[in-house]
Amino acid sequence: MSLFVRKALVVVMVATTMLPNPSFAEALSWIEAEIGMLRSLALGSLPPLPDDVTNLVADDPRAAAFGQQLFFDPRLSATGGVSCSSCHQPERRFTDGLDKGQGIGQSKRNTPSIVGVAYSPWLYWDGRRDSLWSQALSPLEDAAEHGGNRLQYARFIESTPEYREQYETLFDPLPDLADPDNIDRVFANVGKTIAAYERLLMPGRARFDDYVDAVIANDTNAQQALFSPDEERGLKLYIGAANCTQCHNGPLFTNNEFHNTGVLSYAGDVPERGRIAGVREVLSTQFNCRSNFSDAAKRECAELDFARSGYEVMGAFRTPSLRNLENTAPYMHKGQLKTLAAVLQHYNDAPLAMIGHNEAKPLELSNRELQQLEAFLNTLAAPLATADRWLSPPSSSFTNYGSEEQQR
């Protein structure tokens, strides 16, 4: 080997040993604007749960306890074999792992998580309900889900002593069920107790939230201990070049709005109109904010007046939260994308929409950058900030309601 070649090899070896080890790279620096964005995404910025003016028992611990029993009770169905928890499984962050929900039959859409959903003014992928309680009623009557009817559920409450007692403690004595209006009232109240339970389901602090605290404190040692270099770079991309915060912003990583992002239709299904159809349904439903079964004053239902309903929301669906993504695949409104990697590739490509207009633009990120984004998203995994006693079926003698603070 010539002297020249040997010297060249020495130079290359020295240069290689001087390259930073990616496993021990220095913590990334953050400018003031970025720190402000991180603070806005942290769970500490989550405001108190807003009141539900449509539901007077929304925050009554007795209603939550009653709602928990109903949520896990399969007798609340036509077959006696389907409960709310059949699709909203606690161990899967209240999803079911299927493309489309499966009750008595197959539902039309993917089962979204209900963790933290009490913060959203709209429910379902297309926002066709405007309260948790009105949403809770829909599956009970859906032929593919619970498959029952209002009279059946009212009779069930009437004929089950424990449930009748709890119902009458919260509401008036059970009325004459020969009157259809009375049946509807009991049915609506069933939904309100289930909603009271669902309001307790909140996301817990994730590793990301601890990392933000470390950034705010300028504690680089803690930052390095909490995040790998790839996770840090993924976070930089998330709030920067990947443009994720256009929709997935705030401490729940969602703006609770509706966007068309060009997701392909489910195999064999025609393209859906999305939010346009959802707005029409929520305005016409018997159980919206302005209905006789709502506890709100008509002036408190402004969301119905200002809901976007034009072409701009054709094919648009509600932005889901990105917190607690573990065990919640597949993704999108019909489970079209099976992995986070597939979701990120979809946004990187930003294909033309089959209906309406895709708001997203191609990101043109490298494969490495997409992997870093995925690494960051996995830092949002965390146990729920809900006591374990609320995450499983209660015993039939579940009457120790406790204080509201104890529940959470």
Give yes or no: residues 226 and 362 share one domain. Answer: yes
Instruction: Give backbone dihedrals phi and psi of 150, rounded to 5 degrees, phi first.
Output: -65, -40
Give yes or no: residues 210 and 193 share one domain. Answer: no
* Bridge partners (DSSP) listed for residue 123: 129
Can you give the residue range of the structural domain that contains 365? 27-48+205-380
pLDDT in tens, 289-312: 999 999 999 999 999 999 998 999
Give yes or no: residues 361 and 216 share one domain. Answer: yes
Q: What is the pLDDT of residue 35?
A: 98
Give yes or no: residues 144 and 223 share one domain. Answer: no
pLDDT in tens, 314-359: 999 999 999 988 889 999 999 999 999 999 999 999 999 999 999 9
The answer to whether 191 and 63 have CB atoms below 8 angstroms apart is: no
Is this structure's pTM higher than 0.95? no
Give yes or no: residues 105 and 86 share one domain. Answer: yes
Give yes or no: residues 266 and 399 share one domain. Answer: no
Q: What is the pLDDT of residue 395?
A: 79
CA 357 to chain centre: 24
Q: What is the pLDDT of residue 203?
A: 96
Q: What is the pLDDT of residue 27?
A: 75
Select from 348, 64, 36 the least CA-distant residue to 202.
64
Residue 235: inside a domain: yes
Q: What is the pLDDT of residue 25?
A: 53
Mean pLDDT per 10-residue section of the chain, whose length is 408 residues: 44 39 64 98 97 98 98 98 98 96 97 97 98 98 98 98 98 97 98 98 97 97 97 98 97 97 94 96 97 96 92 96 92 97 97 95 97 98 96 68 42
Residue 316, helix vs strand vs coil = strand
Q: What is the pLDDT of residue 396?
A: 56
What are the distances in angstroms from CA 332 to CA 20, 57, 187, 209?
A: 39, 32, 30, 25
Q: What is the CATH number of the domain that holds 66?
A: 1.10.760.10
The answer to whether 333 and 124 have CB atoms below 8 angstroms apart is: no
